[in-house]
Amino acid sequence: MRLSKKGEYAVRALVEIGFEAHLRPNSLIQISTVAERTNIPEKFLEQILLALRNGGVLKSRRGVEGGYALAKPPEEINLGEVVRLLDGPLAPIPCVSATAYEPCTCPDEESCGLRIAMKQVRDAICAILDNYKLDRLISEVQKRRASKTTAWQFDI
């Protein structure tokens, strides 16, 4: 039931890019900067950001002063979308996928026990990720980062 590195890096990078957008609206951030800050191999990250761009989540500009930015406001980007873009369907098995259904090899899909259970798992995963908007995630992150720095700031 693992998320791939691509899916993992995509979310981590997106949080960083969204964070930057929050600090400096209308700015662009470079692949190399994102790679540094997130600890993601730069060349690999390149592929991932490109996929996010082609999927309409990011926009980019080439050349000097170029870089990436969110293609839409963070409240319109949800994690389900992002993970699907890089990892494919969220469903644990294809016969319970709403977005990429494929039949199973079991004798009868209607009464298949595995399917009954995995349908519930799929629904639970989708309920979380399809409703997790980037703005909410970023504010969660911000809250935690803030409580780290202020911890010693007030401790004079």
Query: Which parts of this chain interact with a copy of itself (CB under 8 A)?
Result: 1-3, 8, 11-12, 15, 37-40, 79, 83, 87, 89-93, 105-108, 110-114, 116-118, 120-121, 124-125, 127-129, 132, 137-138, 140-141, 144-145, 148
Say how far apart CA 31 and CA 13 lie, in whole Å: 9
For 140-149, the CB contacts below 8 A with 24+ separation are: 141/15, 141/19, 142/19, 142/22
Q: Which of 23, 26, 39, 65 binds DNA (CB under 7 A)?
A: 65
Report the partner that residue 46 touches, choosing among DNA, a copy of itself, none (CB closer than 5 to 8 A by kind). DNA
Handedness of CA 14, 11, 85, 118 (dihedral sign): negative
Say how far apart CA 89 and CA 98 lie, in whole Å: 9
Q: Which of 27, 36, 54, 98 binds DNA (CB under 7 A)?
A: 54
Question: Which H/E stretch holds residue 61?
Answer: strand 58-61
Which residues would be at the binding site for DNA (CB under 7 A)? 4-6, 9, 28-32, 41-44, 46-47, 49-50, 53-54, 60-68, 87
